Amino acid sequence: MRENSKRKGSPNNNTEGEYKAMSDKTLKIGALQLNNPFLLAPLAGITDKAMRSLCASAGASLTYTEMISAKGLWYGDKNTRRLLDISPIGDEAGDPFSSSAKDFAPARCSAGRSDFPVAFQLFGSEPEIMERAAMSLALGKWMKRGEFLEDVAEDAPAGEYTSGPAANGPTIPALLDLNAGCPVPKIVRNGEGSALLKDPDKLYDVASAMVRGVRAAHEELAAQRSESLLLPVTAKIRMGFERGENNAVECAKVLEAAGISAITVHGRTREQYYDGRADWQAIADVKRAVRIPVIGNGDIYSGSDALRMMYETGCDGVMIARGALGNPWIFEEAIAMWEARNADVQADYVPPTQNQRIEMLLHHLNLVIADKGEKIAVKEMRKHIAWYTKGMRGATAVRRAVNNIDEAEPMKREIRRLVR
């Protein structure tokens, strides 16, 4: 965890008054006005409906789906469609959570939200496919082999999207984001994710294609009804590809020229993955180089870290990733400090007790069960249990036990052993 003391070499030597003035702002991306500058990052295998709902309840102003394959969307892949389902957890009657999911609704966090903005993050490297995928999502239409589907029920396999919120197409998101930062080898080998940083011209082509797709959708929708807001297109990058490399400013300028509405900068290179310390100076450099909003990312493990990033880099928003694992309260903490305009005090925020953390963990488990079923939920929640219980006395034995459990009730009994 980053220490609370001010880092050496801060690019902005603001006085307390200047800091308060600088931080007294919300974040606007294109036409999208957010109520605070703290966002939940897209995390593969993690930012599902349950995680997004809990973090939004804790105050995250924008959440992201797991990254979406543009090719998967192009070909009508059913797993891609599932990732794009941002309807509430629960039945079609409007109840956002099943009765079982409400059993452990924590007092420190509401039962979950279904009215919060969600962004879709796309990865890909072929401009034609990226343009068509962006247009598809901005129109709220499914595709198959690049063609928009008008009658999804006939095309879908038995039981797949023939009823409910996803029947006719994906819900139109709050914004679309281009993934130009994923370091995973299988993504990079395909020229996607952070591989785009090696070729700024290609990065421009892909980003501008997404912008074109959204604008084409906007024109089509505007022709059908009197009001239609232009969906923002953003991008997430790393500071460079090779270790020691930094072409973040060059890539940011390219993206701005392509029509991107905001840029998120992770202060590490692709070769670093998540090793070492994020270079916040790279975020500050990008902020000074472009006129569109810049969102900082990297090494945010507390509300104090989030405000210090804003203070030291001048960034317009902070995207929180690993710091939210097992700790959705980080958004509550960051907002409390942001509202107090002081990164060195706890403001009105009181950290959750151990029992509150366990309560939230059980609630999280119930949400995933309601969304994905018991079998999948029990398997997926093992990693979350490790995050929620980190540092608790007796947690090692509990984590060892749940790794061999395949049913929800025995898992809950093990978790409750940590209640004090």
Enzyme catalytic residues: 182
Cα 178 versus chain centre, distance: 12
> What's the token pair of residue 403?
């790794």
| Nearest CA-CA partner of 69 in 105, 123, 141 | 123
H/E/C letters for each residue in 87-107? CCCCCCCCCCCCHHHHCCCCC
| Nearest CA-CA partner of 418 in 377, 363, 357 | 357
Which amino acid is present at 394? Answer: G
d(CA 224, CA 141): 15
> What's the token pair of residue 301?
């493990």
Number of helices and strands in the chain (H, E): 17, 13
| Nearest CA-CA partner of 255 in 243, 238, 273 | 238
Residues 290-327 as b or e (16 or more Cβ within 10 Å = b):
bebbbbbbbbbbbbbbbbbbbbbbbbbbbbbbbbbbbb
d(CA 135, CA 262): 19
Strand pairing category for 175-180 and 118-123: parallel
d(CA 52, CA 58): 10
Which residues neighbour 40 within 8 Å (Cβ) at sequence distance 6 or greater? 47, 51, 52, 55, 56, 60, 62, 63, 64, 319, 320, 324, 331
**Phi and psi for 8 in degrees, rounded to 5?**
-70, 150
> What's the token pair of residue 404?
């061999």
